[in-house]
Amino acid sequence: MMILYKPHIEYIVQLSTAPDKRRYMVPEEGARHYLDVDHYDFLNIPRIWPQAVEKFTEDTLQRYGILPWHMERMMAQLTKAFMAGDRARILRLSAELGHYMADAHVPLHACSNHNGQLTGQHGIHGLWESRIPELLADNEFDYWTGKTGYIRDFRAFAWQVIGESARASDTVLWLEKQLSLRFPADRRYAYEIRKGTLVRNYSSEYTKAYQALLGDMVERRMRGSIAAVAACWYTAWVNAGQPSLGKLRATGISDEEHAAARRLDSLWRTGKIFGRDH
């Protein structure tokens, strides 16, 4: 797998931002990034999409998120891309599936109180998902996950990941609430320059205190997402019949795809997001 992915790692990272950017152009995109598990009886949610639609209606599913079903769809598309030997499509789908799988590992992508908006904790999503890794990950986290493996039942795997995130969401919210009650309010936030603009963010002191309460949760979920993404790519390749990766068809990017990418980037920079914004 290294001969396919390693030479294109920077391109894959760039492609992985497309799902978030599409939220500024495609209203349906937002629901693909989360599942409000607390809205349902988790064990009785149909894992097969047509059955879920029949039970809840598609409008309800779109309102409360479709992440695990969408990951299964993306996995099928990636497998077909390997079968077709289309390198450009493989890289794009690999990157986007990686984005959704990473979302599935974030506890606040699996509950309705996704940014603490229901409990006076607005901003907690970015604190857990971005601020802690930004300040601490490179120096304190271990990214090595070892050899990847084959996923025998992807549907079960996707729902397992979502279930784990949902069970952790209460802890994420409760610990930050307790910390905020005893932490001096004037030391909770700090101002810093970002891309030439002065912005308010959680202070390093508060972020480190929250990380200490969480223990290894953020690192563990990050490592889990890394291992899961690798397993998804490997599994799709195996299910496609293990085609030779050195002989993939090198397809170029069409003028239409270039134009769509430019429009997507423009809307992302200047537009307004559809649906949830954290």
pLDDT on residue 199: 86
pLDDT confidence band for 95 (50 / 70 / 90): very high
pLDDT (0 to 100) of residue 20 = 85
Query: Counting Cβ atoms within 10 Å, is residue 80 exposed (0-12), middle (13-18) or buried (19+)?
Result: middle
pLDDT of 205 strictly over 80: yes
User: What average pLDDT score do residues 139-157 get?
Assistant: 96
pLDDT at 66: 98
C-alpha pair distances (Å), 248 with each of 76, 90, 150 = 18, 10, 22
pLDDT at 22: 80
Q: Mean of the pLDDT values across residues 26-45?
A: 94
- State the chain's mean pLDDT as an integer: 91
The amino acid present at 82, given as its one-letter code, is F
User: Residue 215 region, left (φ>0) first, then alpha (ψ -120 to 50), else beta?
Assistant: left
Question: pLDDT at position 32, please?
Answer: 96
Q: What is the pLDDT of residues 5-34, one digit of tens each?
A: 998 888 888 889 888 888 777 788 999 999
Read off the pLDDT of each residue in 119-132 and give the average, rounded to a whole number.
96
**Single pTM value for the model:** 0.91
- Model confidence at 251: pLDDT above 60: no
Residue 272 or 113, more confident: 113
